[in-house]
Amino acid sequence: MWHIAKRELYDNLNSLRFALATVLLLGLMLTNAAVYLHEHPRRTQKYNAAVTESVNDLTVRADSLYTLAREGPGLLYKKPSPLRFCAEGGETFLPNVVGGAFLWSISGGLKGFWRLNYPSTTPNLTDIRPNVTKVDWAFIIGYVLSLIAILFTFDAVSGERELGTLRLMLANPMPRHTVLIGKFLGALISIGIPLTLAVLMNLLLISTSSAVQLGPDAWGRLGIIFIIAVLYTGLFLALGLLVSARVSRSAVSLVILLLIWVTFVVFVPSTLASIAGGFSSPMSTDELWQRRGELYAKRWERYDAYFAERVERSKEIQFKGKHVIAEAEEQERVNEEHLAQQIDQVKFARRTTQISPIAIAQHLIESFAGTGFERHLQFLENTRTHARQFRKFIADTDSGDPESSHIIGIRQGMSEKPVNPAALPKFEDTLNLSQDFNAAMMDLLLLVLLFVVLLSGAYLAFVRVEV
Amino acid sequence: MMTLIRRELLDNLMTFRFAAATFITLLLVVANTFVLITDYERRLASHNEAVKMHQRQLQEKITYSAGEVRVDRPPNPLSIFNVGFDKRLGNEVRISHRVVPSLWDAGMHGSDNPFMDMFASMDIVFIFEVILSLFALIFAYNAFAGEYESGTLRLVLTHPIGRGKILVAKYMSAMLCLIVPLLISLLLAIILLTTSTAISLNSDDFLRIGGIILTSVAYLSVFYLIGLLISAATRRTSTALMLSMFVWGFWVLVYPNVILTVIPRLESPEALRASAFNRIENIWETFDRERKHYLATDDFPGEDWGYDLRGWGSRGANLMGNSQRLLYTYRSVMNFEGFGEKDEPKMPHAQKHFGFLGALTIDAADRTWLIRKPALEEIFIQPADMERIWLKLSPVGLYDAATQAWAGTDLLGVRDFFHAARQYRQSVINYFYDNKVFESRQWFSGDKGAADWSGLPQFVFQRDDINTNAKRALPDVCLLLMINVVLFIVIFLIFVKTEV
């Protein structure tokens, strides 16, 4: 088996395609590193500046518990992933901030409490520059590497048959599966060499720069991404072997492979996503505003109805507090609902595209690079957790103040003592590897499954090859 | 000659690659056309809704100063072929005497789920870009190398036919084969388009589609000739194939995506921006001085721009600027529903003042535009155009640019809308002058009859006629054709010198 792998390897190393593949991969990976080193420091700087500003705002508010409770935790920012060079993950279309918005006044001259607000990205309407695709690992692996894999295997069996060397080889006392595995390994290693070289150059460039620090966690993630890349390449190699064994002429084999590649890699993901997206119509922004307006009006009616008759003072404060809190809560629920519908639409579209191996690979790389949609969902979950903690902190602090009458929602009912800014819960947007792993498990299984199916298909096809 | 063409044609038509090419192109084009038509219908519906909403909002305003005329850019039906900037740039703009509207002042309506933008959208030209170039290379790689290897080339050349003729015959027959999937799929796409009730294509649109087809053929031919060149130069099928595939991967997949990250992005010229904004600020400072001077010297005591009117309603005024977009304007809005009795004598003064202010604002806005237009051009348009030139170094970029121009979804096509919006602003101003709107009581108050918006001129945006499209597309089409000719000559020279 190793003999055959070695023979294949030597064959490939001398070929034109090996040289071209090496040049292409090296060029792309170096570009990737250069662009990343140019952009990442700015991104981190921007994030740090924004977070500092947000914390400063919070400290100013902390001079009174009431103000703090009313104006909320401020803007919560998404931490940029240091592994953004692996997968850009459509981050430009995802907002990087969740805000706690509050209203200056709601019904009855009361001041509104903060609620979580999910801004959407505002598209840059004046961007007249041509579209730029980010050259990240996901692009290089997803498109370029898979194409190279096909070009390495399309003639693996059919080419030898045309030359007549297949007959010669099979005349040796060697089981056929050994031959196939040998060919597979040979091709995998010959692609693995330029890939590893390119990846190492890329990482060398990135890790020697002082602007970026990659921790042990990041290296672990990079390792996993590399394994995914190899698995994904193997998948296309197996496909190449399968078609090559089934078809008698290499030219036909290549045409079939290219058609499969173009359809599944280039077209299926976006076409299917658009079709799947058409099945659901989430609440539009106009509807959201309308719903909010209706709720607001109803709240006001209830308020007016309550104060239509005379109420005693203690009850009045209690009602007002509840009123303020309920207003914020129901508005937040609508926001959540709006967001959930949008997310469901995207999730469905993403699930549909998983027919295509490139979509699976890209989702996986995104998950481990800590970018993209799944990561955004994690960020949203983090902000919700923080919001709960924040509210709990307010309630706890308030109940610790003997002068307060513990009616949250209104100034008269709450503590107005200053709060120690250091005691405030801090928002930490964390990247969690085990969480990522869980999210990616499904994709990983799917990828392995596809790989196994294609490889056994190639085996079956090869066993039945007539020489 | 005809025999040769017929032989080649039959050779090509009976192959698996021809069947596969036709089938895949048809499948992709039809599937995507469905998606694209649905998307267009959705955008059109949202456009119509926006137009209605803006009409309604305008009618609700009882004073002229509070009214905001908005115009909306309809989606371009040919964006189905090449979407270009049609979906990306702003599609509604405010028409006001205070600002000369431009692309940089536009807003956007009708994007329901911004997360869905993560998925790339494909238009028909993109499909052709990828598929047709691939097929052209697959058809070409063994045209010479294959015949050379099998020895038939020697056989053919023993006949008393010029080598040029053989080359032409090969080219003609292969192109005929390649055009078949292109034409059939486009025909199906057009049939699908005409079945949709929302899309109405006029005769100019069909000519534009004709332009797109012509450009597609030229693009196809470039890639076929590249394949032929590789085939003639390498003389071995396997090498020719490998080289063709990498050339394809580089020009179609890598180059258009990588080039813009490789070339240094021009920083926008900050000094220019600052100086332009400075001059614009000066205009408005002068404006503000003149405004205050008028208030101080007119025959009404006090300097309040609202003439101490005490009524039911709201008023507000501010000078505001945005240095990023080089925008500056003075906005004063007065929206009264009724007045106390003491206010009546102040009315003529206020009316006169607003008449003066209207003319002054228009003048300042027009002078701002004179500075703003070239500055915007230099800060935003020129760097973007430079980047587009880099993209055009690949046939893919040329093809994309030319088809955008034909479809009218290129930057110039979108900017036509803003040009029309500026003309519309002028006609609104003329209407205001003709009807003495600035001096009217309705400018700031609705107590004696609300503002009458029904007489306002209507905004209609007609896409430019086919001549303009052709003029914009022709340079790129010519470049494509030139590449064709050069490649053909090179191949001819190589082929003539080949020893069999």
pLDDT tens profile A320-340: 888 888 888 888 999 999 999
Q: Does one domain contain both B127 and B184?
A: yes
DSSP code for B326: T
Residues B299 and B370 in one domain: yes
pLDDT, position A458: 92
Cβ proximity of B303 and B296 under 8 Å: yes
Q: Does B362 touch chain A (CB under 8 A)?
A: no
Let me know if residue A137 belongs to a domain: yes
For residues B209 and B313, membership in a common domain is answered with no
SS3 (DSSP) at A120: coil
pLDDT value, residue A105: 67
For residue B304, give every residue at least 6 positions away whose Cβ sits within 8 Å of its Cβ, in sequence order, or none: B295
Q: How far is B307 from chain A (nearest CA, A)?
A: 30
Across residues B258-285, what is the average pLDDT?
Answer: 85
A427 or B147: which carries more pLDDT confidence?
A: A427
The distance from CA B410 to its chain's CA centroid, rounded to whole angstroms, is: 3
| Residue pointed to by tokens 């709601």 | A106
Same domain (yes/no): B9, B135: yes
* A28 contacts B391? CB cut-off 8 A: no
- Do B249 and B289 lie in one domain? The reply is no
Same domain? B183 vs B293:
no
What's the CA gap between A242 and A451, in Å, rounded?
Answer: 12
Tell me the backbone φ, ψ of residue B320, rounded to 5 degrees.
Answer: -140, 150
Look at A130 and B384 and tell me if their CB atoms are within 8 Å: yes
Q: Which of A195, A188, A180 is nearest to A237 (CA)?
A: A188
Chain-chain contact of A263 with B237 (C-beta, under 8 angstroms): no
Which candidate from B88, B107, B119 shows the least CB-CB separation from A273?
Answer: B119
Cβ-defined contact of A373 to B118 (cutoff 8 Å): yes
Whether B87 maps to a domain, the answer reads no
Is B81 inside a domain boundary? no
CA distances B23 to A145, A327, B16, B131, B299, Å, are 26, 58, 11, 11, 82
**pLDDT at res. B111:** 65
What is the mean pLDDT of the segment spanning A169-189? Answer: 85
Nearest CB to B119 within list A133, A254, A349: A349
Residues A274, B39: C-beta atoms closer than 8 Å: yes
Which pLDDT belongs to residue B500?
63
Residue B142 belongs to a domain: yes
Query: Is the residue at A305 inside a domain?
Result: no
Provide the mean pLDDT of chain A. 86
pLDDT value of residue A360: 93
Q: Are residues B426 and B334 in the same domain?
A: yes
**pLDDT value at B394 more than 70:** yes
The per-residue pLDDT for range B303-342, each reduced to its tens digit, is 788 777 777 888 888 888 888 888 899 988 888 888 877 7
> pLDDT-based confidence at A304, cuts 50/70/90?
confident
Which residue range(s) make up the domain with B232?
2-41+121-262+475-497
Which pLDDT does position A108 carry in this prediction? 63
Instruction: Give the gyration radius of chain A's Cα atoms.
Output: 29
Assess if residue B60 is contained within a domain.
no
Task: Determine how many CB atoms are found less than 10 A away from the CB of residue A223.
Answer: 11
Task: Give dist(CA B359, CA A159) in Å, integer.
Answer: 81
Residue A467 C-alpha, separation from nearest chain B C-alpha, in angstroms: 21
Does B200 reside within a domain?
yes
Q: How far apart are CA B130 and CA A312, in angstroms?
A: 76
SS3 of A134, please? Answer: coil
CA–CA min distance B262, chain A (Å): 7
B241 and B297 fall within a common domain: no
Confidence of residue A427 (pLDDT cuts 50, 70, 90): confident
Residue at A394 is within a domain: yes
The residues near B15 (Cβ < 8 Å, ≥ 6 apart) are none
> Counting one residue from A and one from B, how many pairs have CB atoms under 8 Å apart?
165
Whether B255 is in a domain gets the answer yes
- Identify the band that residue B259 occupies on the pLDDT scale cut at 50, 70 and 90: confident
Query: What are the pLDDT digits (tens) for A200-209?
Result: 999 999 988 8
Is B202's pLDDT higher than 90? no
Predicted TM-score (pTM) of this structure: 0.88
Give a yes or no: residue A294 inside a domain.
no
| β-bridge partners, A408 | none
Best residue in A18, A271, A342 to probe B by mutation, most B CBs within 10 Å? A271
C-alpha to C-alpha distances, A205 to B121, B260, B261, B444, nearest whole angstrom: 34, 21, 17, 65
Using alpha carbons, select from A243, A170, A182 the residue that is nearest to residue A10: A182
* Between A425 and B147, residue with greater pLDDT: A425
DSSP string, A356-395: SHHHHHHHHHHHHHT-HHHHHHHHHHHHHHHHHHHHHHHH
Least confident window among A190-194, B45-49, B271-275, B312-316: B312-316
Residue type, B476: D
What residues in B contact A373, CB-CB < 8 Å?
115, 118
Q: Given this model, what pLDDT does residue A311 score?
A: 76
Could you tell me if residue B284 is inside a domain? yes
Q: Which residue has the tokens 């513990």?
A: A406
| Identity of the highest mean pLDDT range in A65-79, A123-137, B136-150, B297-311 | A65-79
The string of pLDDT tens digits covering residues A36-53 is 888 888 889 999 999 999
**pLDDT over 70 at B110, yes or no:** no
Helix segments in A62-175, DSSP class H: 65-71, 137-139, 146-153, 158-163, 165-171
* Residue-level pLDDT at B341: 77
How close does chain A come to B381, measured CA to CA in Å? 7
Show Cβ contacts of residue A35 under 8 Å, excluding neighbours closer than 6 positions.
Answer: A85, A134, A135, B261
Q: Taking all residues of chain B, what is their mean pLDDT, rounded to a whole number?
A: 87
Residue B107 lies in a domain: no
| pLDDT value for A467 | 66
Separation between Cα atoms, residue B242 and residue A159, nearest integer Å = 13
* Residue from A26, A258, A280, A376 to probe the interface with B (highest B Cβ count within 10 Å): A258
Residue A303 resides in a domain: no
Is the pLDDT at B112 greater than 80, yes or no?
Answer: no
The whole-number pLDDT of residue A441 equals 87
Backbone angles phi, psi at B29, to 5 degrees: -65, -45
Confidence of residue B35 (pLDDT cuts 50, 70, 90): confident
- Does one domain contain both B231 and B353? no
Are B270 and B212 part of one and the same domain?
no
- Asked if A291 has any chain B CB less than 8 Å from its own CB, the reply is no
Min Cα separation B255/chain A (Å): 10
Cα dihedral value A402, A406, A408, A411, nearest 10: -60
What is the C-alpha radius of gyration for chain B, rounded to an integer number of angstroms?
31
**pLDDT band for position A171 (cuts 50, 70, 90):** confident
Whether residue B291 sits in one domain with residue B359? yes
B333 burial (CB, 10 Å; 0-12 / 13-18 / 19+) is middle
Strand boundaries in A4-113, DSSP class E: 75-77, 97-101
Whether B264 contacts chain A with CB within 8 A = no
Confidence bin at A106 (pLDDT 50/70/90): low
CA distance A127 to chain B (A): 7
Yes or no, beta carbons of A128 and B115 under 8 Å apart: no
CA B317 to CA B292: how far, in whole Å?
13
Assign A104 a pLDDT band (cuts: 50, 70, 90): low
**Which amino acid is it at A267?**
F
pLDDT band of A66, cuts 50, 70, 90: confident
Residue A419: band (very low, low, confident or very high) from pLDDT cuts 50, 70, 90: confident
Alpha-carbon separation of residue A40 from A210, A305, A430, B171 (angstroms): 12, 56, 18, 50
Name which of A20, A256, A273 is nearest B246 (Cβ-Cβ).
A20
Length of chain B in terms of residues written: 500
Number of domains in chain B: 2
Q: Are residues B390 and B483 in the same domain?
A: no
How is B195-211 classified by DSSP, letter by letter? H-SS----HHHHHHHHH
Average pLDDT over residues B218-234: 92
Which residue(s) pair with B318 in the sheet? B331
Percent of chain B with pLDDT over 90: 37
Residue-range definition of the domain harbouring residue A275: 1-284+324-467
Asked if residue A312 is part of any domain, the answer here is: no
Among residues A272, A289, A296, A238, the alpha carbon closest in space to that of A454 is found at A238
Q: Is the pLDDT of residue B431 over 90?
A: yes
Residue type, position B378, single letter: E
Please count the structural domains in chain A: 1
Of A116-130, B87-101, B475-489, give the lowest mean pLDDT range.
A116-130
